[in-house]
Each structure stands twice: as C-alpha cells, then as structure tokens.
Amino acid sequence: MGAHDSFHSIKIDEQRCIGCVTCMHACPVKAIRLRNGKASVYKHDLCIDCGECLRVCPVQAVQSMTSKVVELAQFKVKVALPSPVLYAQYSDATTPNDILLALHKLGFDHVFDMALSCEMVLIAIEEYLNRMTDVRPIISNYCPAVVRLILKNYPNLMDRVVPIEVPREVAAKQIRKSLAAELKLDPTEIGIFHLTPCPAKLISIQKPIGVERSNLDDAIAIRDIYIPLLNALKEVGDDDLILQKSSGVGISWAISRSNVGGLPQHRSLTVRGLEEVIHILDQVEAGKLTDIDYLECAACPGGCVGGPLVVQNRHVAAAQVDTLIEQYGVRTRLDRRKILRSYEENYLIPGLHRKTRAVSHGQVDLVKALEVMNQVEETIGRLPGMNCGACGAPDCRTLAEDIAAGDAVLTDCVFMKIKELEDEVEGHRRKS
C-alpha cells in the first residue's frame, strides 16, 4: 500500500469549489488555504483527516477518497467489515443480522460482525489499563483523526494513546489468515473492506501509524453503500444463518461508549466532537484529569454515528444504537482468558509509542526562528484583525505566518491592498 506523503482521505474538487471559504474556517488545524479562489489542503502536513471540511462544504466539493462499490471486483474473495454504525442506519425492524445477510447478497463473499471485534478489543484495553497503572488517563485510539491530532499537536501525549490494535484491524488480520488457509489462497487475493462512517478510517488504512501496513485493503463509505444495501435488504428473507455474534457491548462502539458494560472496573470519560476533544487534551497536557483511567475521544459530534459519511441523522442513529444495546444486552459472550492468551500477538502494537521527538535544533536555528516570530508579530500588528479569510488564509495570524514562510504576501490582505492603492494615488497626486 503506502500512499505518498501528500495523500489524504479527502480531496477538494476544483471544478466544484465556489471559493466560499466555509471549509477553510471549519478546519480545526488550519490546513486549508484559498489560492486563486479555490480551496485546497495547502498545508497537507497539518491535515488530520477529520473530514470537517467535507461535512461543511455547501456544494459537496470536498470528496471522500474511499472506494466505490464497483472497485471490489479486483479481488478474488471479498470481505466486508462493517462499522457498527451501519446497524443504526436503517429502521427498527432491520436487525444487525439482516444487514450482514444483505451484505452477502451485495456480493461480499464473507461478512464479519465487526462489533464482536470491538468486544475483543475492549477486553484487551481493560488488560492494558490493568497492567499500566502509572499513567493516567490512557487515551483511546480508534478515531484516526484524534490519533493524528495527538501526534501532530500533542506529541507528549502519544505515549498515553492505548497501544491496542483497533477492532477493524484485529478482525482483518484474523480473517485474512484463516481465509487464506481455508481457501488455499494467497493472502493478497483477499480484499478486506471496512464500511466506514468517515474518511479518517481510510487514512489509517493507507498511512497507518505505529505499524508497517494495515490489514485492510480499503474503505467504502456507508453513504455509498446505503442504497444498494437497502435494495439487498428486501431480498433477505427468513434466513437461519446467524452472522451476528456481538452483544450490545460491541454495538455501543458506534456511539463511543466503552463504559457500556465494557470497562466496568475503570473510570472512563467520553468526549465527542473535535472542539471538545481539543479542549480536553489541553487539560490532559497541563497535567489534569489524572483521576480518569480511560479517556475516549472521537472527532465527530456524537461519536462515530456522527461521521461525515453516514446517512442517518446522528441523534436518530444514537437512539437506534441505544435500542440495540438494550436488545442485545451489555454482557459480552466472549471468553476473557481466551482473548488474553493472544494479547501480545494479536492486540498489542509496540510501535505506537516509538518516540516522536521533534529534532531539537541548534542555537542558530532558534535565533532564526525567533527572528521569524518577531516578524510574524510585527505583521500581525499591521493587519486589521478581522479574520475574514478574504486573503485565502483562515485568520490574520495565519496569514502573517504564511507571509513569514514565504507562502503569501502582505497585499493578499484586501485591506492592505486598498491601503497600498490609496498610497499610490496619494503619491501620484503629490507628484502632479
């Protein structure tokens, strides 16, 4: 796999973009700039693949790079690993089992109830919390946008991110191994697809952190499979085949609530929505919240049910998840000891905590950096402070930084431009 450096899970279509700056203001890490009236992820190394830009664009110019259903064909054997969020997209009468059966009918040779992997992973997380008692809080890792936010903006908190493989990876790894053996296939002939509520999962497949490569092949947006699946659901009759193995514990993953029967011995706290996540990480970084064992952070409002690639309204979906939790109970049927036997082999990711230390630079660089910073402050002093975005940067401070970096000029600011023109006119008048 290994996507190139500037690859991201979203792409802004120049043709469609109307240059309204909505996405630029919404981007939590200020990665977007407008150039020649078109938005682009100009500072791509800042992008955390949260999908906020996709969520807010009024003309659907921000596209998800997830694959289309038709792209499945290239694999001999196709496997679907649906996020539990999929279970909350249809009406009450549609059971998770119906959905799994319908995926079969859609052309997936194997369909796996990923909610069960969520339960396995919760057991492994509990074990990690029991073993590592000296660091608190431990932070969840299943939201790739949050992990990237921490890696880029809170590097000191990286060693608190739980180094336990996420459910989709655990499932994919086991499935590929067992299917290859069972069907006598080369593992590369098996295509494993995550049905995802957000583009962020795609980046964790294309550019994983802490491991060499992902066990998944690609991701398909729930909203792209919604209609075909709806049609396939009509063909699902009274089938004896039971594909659903999970309880409400695994399904609760869709609303990011591991405390639903999952981690009874530990104090957990769930924070959903990037703005709130940033706020809470600031506090953790300042040494607070040490009384919390497990801090669950999801970039999307409402958790994964609020992902930008879903169909159902997130409140409706969350209510649906609650119903499912009630229906399938909060007791996992899994054997804890059995899971923990392969804790090191199947769950632990030792590479995640590899030090992500910024290269401490020499004195010469610091002198230069201080000079640049002074220049930035001086520029900010001249800018009007309106944060209008007309310059193509999300706010005046960012424009000042871009100018210092040589990525913009002062007269990109319309107010500065007007002033320049006025001065010119004034100059001419004086001369004549």
| 374 is an interface residue for another protein by CB under 8 A | yes
Residue written as token pair 């909505």: 22
Nearer to ligand SF4, 55 or 173 (CB): 55
Q: Binding partner of residue 360 among ligand SF4, another protein, none, CB under 5 to 8 Å per kind?
A: another protein
User: Rounded to the nearest whole angstrom, what is the least distance from the CB of residue 86 to ligand SF4 in the complex?
Assistant: 22
| 31 is an interface residue for ligand SF4 by CB under 6 A | yes
Nearer to ligand SF4, 153 or 375 (CB): 153
| 135 is an interface residue for another protein by CB under 8 A | no
User: Rounded to the nearest whole angstrom, what is the least distance from the CB of residue 277 to ligand SF4 in the complex?
Assistant: 13
User: Rounded to the nearest whole angstrom, what is the least distance from the CB of residue 211 to another protein in the complex?
Assistant: 23
| 318 is an interface residue for ligand SF4 by CB under 6 A | no
| 39 is an interface residue for ligand SF4 by CB under 6 A | yes
Residue written as token pair 């999300």: 394
Distance, CA of 350 to CA of 334 (rounded, Å):
25
| 285 is an interface residue for another protein by CB under 8 A | yes
- Give the ranges where 197-329 is alpha helix by DSSP (H): 200-206, 222-235, 248-251, 274-285, 314-328
Residue 162, burial from CB neighbour count under 10 angstroms (0-12, 13-18, 19+): buried
| 335 is an interface residue for another protein by CB under 8 A | no
Footprint of ligand SF4 on 329-368 (CB under 6 A): none
Residue 348, burial from CB neighbour count under 10 angstroms (0-12, 13-18, 19+): middle
Question: Is the CA virtual torsion 270, 275, 281, 286 positive or negative?
Answer: negative
Nearer to another protein, 355 or 430 (CB): 355
Contact predicate 120/244, CB 8 Å: no
Pairing of strands 38-40, 138-139: unpaired
Pairing of strands 218-221, 190-196: parallel
Footprint of ligand SF4 on 62-101 (CB under 6 A): 62
Distance, CA of 184 to CA of 338 (rounded, Å):
26
| 251 is an interface residue for ligand SF4 by CB under 6 A | no
Q: Binding partner of residue 31 among another protein, ligand SF4, none, CB under 5 to 8 Å per kind?
A: ligand SF4
Q: Binding partner of residue 377 among ligand SF4, another protein, none, CB under 5 to 8 Å per kind?
A: another protein
Q: Binding partner of residue 430 among ligand SF4, another protein, none, CB under 5 to 8 Å per kind?
A: none
Nearer to ligand SF4, 72 or 281 (CB): 281
Distance, CA of 74 to CA of 97 (rounded, Å):
27
Distance, CA of 399 to CA of 397 (rounded, Å):
5
Tokens found for residue 337:
């000891």
DSSP string over 141-169: ---HHHHHHHHHH-GGGGGGB--B--HHH
| 424 is an interface residue for another protein by CB under 8 A | no
| 387 is an interface residue for another protein by CB under 8 A | no
Q: Binding partner of residue 358 among ligand SF4, another protein, none, CB under 5 to 8 Å per kind?
A: another protein
Here's the x/- map for another protein, 226-265, by CB under 8 A: it reads as ----------------------------------------
Contact predicate 246/116, CB 8 Å: yes
Distance, CA of 199 to CA of 196 (rounded, Å):
7
HSE-CB for 248 with a 13 A CA cutoff: 17
Bridge partners (DSSP) of residue 39 are 34
User: Rounded to the nearest whole angstrom, what is the least distance from the CB of residue 206 to ligand SF4 in the complex?
Assistant: 14
Distance, CA of 342 to CA of 339 (rounded, Å):
6
Q: Which of 1, 59, 316, 421 binds ligand SF4 (CB under 6 A)?
A: 59
Distance of alpha carbon 22 from the chain centroid: 20
- List CB contacts of 242: < 8 A, sequence separation 6 or more: 97
User: Rounded to the nearest whole angstrom, what is the least distance from the CB of residue 42 to ligand SF4 in the complex?
Assistant: 9
Nearer to another protein, 227 or 367 (CB): 367
User: Rounded to the nearest whole angstrom, what is the least distance from the CB of residue 153 to ligand SF4 in the complex?
Assistant: 11
Q: Which of 33, 61, 223, 334 binds ligand SF4 (CB under 6 A)?
A: 61
Q: Binding partner of residue 1 among another protein, ligand SF4, none, CB under 5 to 8 Å per kind?
A: none
Contact predicate 77/183, CB 8 Å: yes
| 409 is an interface residue for another protein by CB under 8 A | no
User: Rounded to the nearest whole angstrom, what is the least distance from the CB of residue 303 to ligand SF4 in the complex?
Assistant: 17
Contact set with another protein (CB under 8 A) = 153, 155-156, 279, 282-283, 285-288, 357-358, 360-361, 363, 365-367, 369-371, 373-374, 376-377, 401
Contact set with ligand SF4 (CB under 6 A) = 10, 12, 17-23, 26-27, 29, 31-32, 39, 41, 47-53, 57, 59, 61-62
